[in-house]
């Protein structure tokens, strides 16, 4: 019998989804952080992969593998070329998590602009009478929201923006004239967007051309009180340059769900700064969305086990 190895955990891929595959395969849960994961990997035909790195080294330990089903939309942790060379399918979960990531993006924007975390801390610390004043926050009304990357998630962020009185501008390698018409969003080059925006939010894939897309030069272009929000991938922002920009007051603040190194190392400079809001890569982490992601992975793995083409192959493997 074939084996499906779930590295993404039971919270993400609950037993009922494993049960749904058990007529075709044995399903084993193991954390990729454990040595025993690699014992199981030796004869696994399919893996459901969290953020673990799947490269040639990994694949050498997986001689029977036929599919890597990523538990997520981003697949920068998977060397697709190496998989393709070995005849291994790579699938992901596009679409189902866009709303959850867009919700978190707006949560981060509002937390940063209204000082929600500081105020929460203030209340919990005894509210300190009425003498201790917190700095005032900022309205969204009249601000310019710059969306970098107008793919599925960027569009959901723009949709939610319609409920706020903001002007939406966007940059993408693909111009979306359809959306300019239907949603009233305006296209700009990246530099122009950085100069014009009060809120810059990042929604691009991590590929070689987007690594450190936002660095020292880009922070210099931004407004002094602008904030930057990132719910995509940490390395899209040069984090050292961001820390510098925040320290120098070159920009107003940062709200980040993703980091160059995850987990963010204890004592990292970012965590010492007051003008940051930091969350632990929770963009897709809702009950409903994680179920939908599990369902997509189960469908892809099932198709593979039945000898069919999995429906959600990554673009590089689509014919």
d(CA 290, CA 82): 28
Known catalytic membership, residue 281: yes
- Of 72 and 252, nearer to ligand 8YV (C-beta) is 72
205 binds ligand 8YV (CB under 6 A): no
- Specify the stretch interacting with ligand 8YV by CB under 6 A; choose among 127-135, 240-248, 278-286, 300-308: 278-286
Residue whose entry in the numeric block shows the structure tokens 């490269």: 55
Closest distance to ligand 8YV from the beta carbon of 225 (Å)? 29
Known catalytic membership, residue 262: yes
72 binds ligand 8YV (CB under 6 A): yes
Q: Is 46 helix (H, G, I), strand (E, B) or coil?
A: strand
89 binds ligand 8YV (CB under 6 A): no
The DSSP bridge pattern shows strands 67-70 and 89-91 to be: parallel
Site string for ligand 8YV, 17-56 (x = CB under 6 A): ---------------------------------xx-----
234 binds ligand 8YV (CB under 6 A): no
From the list 15, 81, 262, 316, the catalytic residue is 262
Task: Record the tokens describing residue 68, joined without a space.
Answer: 């890597």
Q: Is 199 helix (H, G, I), strand (E, B) or coil?
A: strand
Closest distance to ligand 8YV from the beta carbon of 49 (Å)? 7
Instruction: Tell me the CA end-to-end span of the chain in Å, nearest whole number.
Output: 30
d(CA 110, CA 102): 12
d(CA 243, CA 162): 31
Q: 26 forms bridges with which residues in the sheet?
A: 3
The DSSP bridge pattern shows strands 2-6 and 25-29 to be: parallel
- Specify the stretch interacting with ligand 8YV by CB under 6 A; choose among 71-79, 152-160, 222-230, 294-302: 71-79
* Footprint of ligand 8YV (CB under 6 A): 8, 50-51, 71-74, 97, 281, 283-284
* Residues that are catalytic: 233, 262, 281
């Amino acid at each position: 019998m074939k084996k499906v190895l779930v590295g993404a955990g039971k919270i993400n891929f609950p037993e009922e989804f494993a049960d749904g595959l058990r007529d075709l395969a044995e399903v084993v849960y193991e954390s990729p952080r454990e040595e025993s994961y690699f014992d199981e990997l030796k004869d696994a035909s399919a893996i459901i992969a969290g953020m673990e790195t799947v490269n040639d080294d990994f694949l050498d330990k997986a001689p029977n593998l036929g599919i890597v089903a990523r538990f997520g939309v981003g697949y920068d942790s998977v060397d697709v070329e190496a998989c393709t060379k070995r005849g291994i399918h790579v699938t992901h979960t596009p679409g189902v998590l866009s709303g959850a990531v867009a919700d978190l993006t707006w949560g981060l924007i509002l937390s940063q602009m209204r000082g929600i975390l500081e105020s929460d801390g203030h209340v919990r610390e005894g509210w300190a009478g009425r003498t201790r004043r917190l700095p005032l926050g900022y309205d969204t009304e009249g601000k310019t929201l710059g969306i970098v990357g107008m793919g599925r998630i960027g569009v959901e962020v723009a949709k939610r923006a319609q409920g706020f009185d903001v002007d939406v501008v966007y940059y993408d390698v693909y111009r979306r004239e359809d959306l300019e018409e239907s949603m009233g969003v305006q296209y700009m080059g990246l530099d122009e967007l950085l100069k014009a925006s009060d809120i810059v939010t990042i929604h691009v894939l991590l590929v070689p051309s987007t690594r450190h897309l936002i660095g020292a030069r880009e922070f210099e272009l931004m407004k002094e009180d602008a904030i930057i929000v990132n719910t995509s991938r940490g390395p899209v922002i040069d984090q050292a340059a961001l820390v510098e920009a925040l320290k120098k007051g070159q920009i107003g603040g940062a709200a980040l769900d993703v980091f160059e190194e995850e987990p963010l190392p204890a004592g990292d400079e970012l965590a010492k700064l007051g003008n940051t809001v930091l969350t632990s890569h929770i963009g897709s982490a809702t009950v409903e969305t994680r179920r939908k992601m599990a369902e997509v992975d189960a469908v892809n793995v099932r198709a593979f086990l039945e000898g069919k083409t999995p429906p959600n192959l990554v673009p590089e493997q689509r014919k």
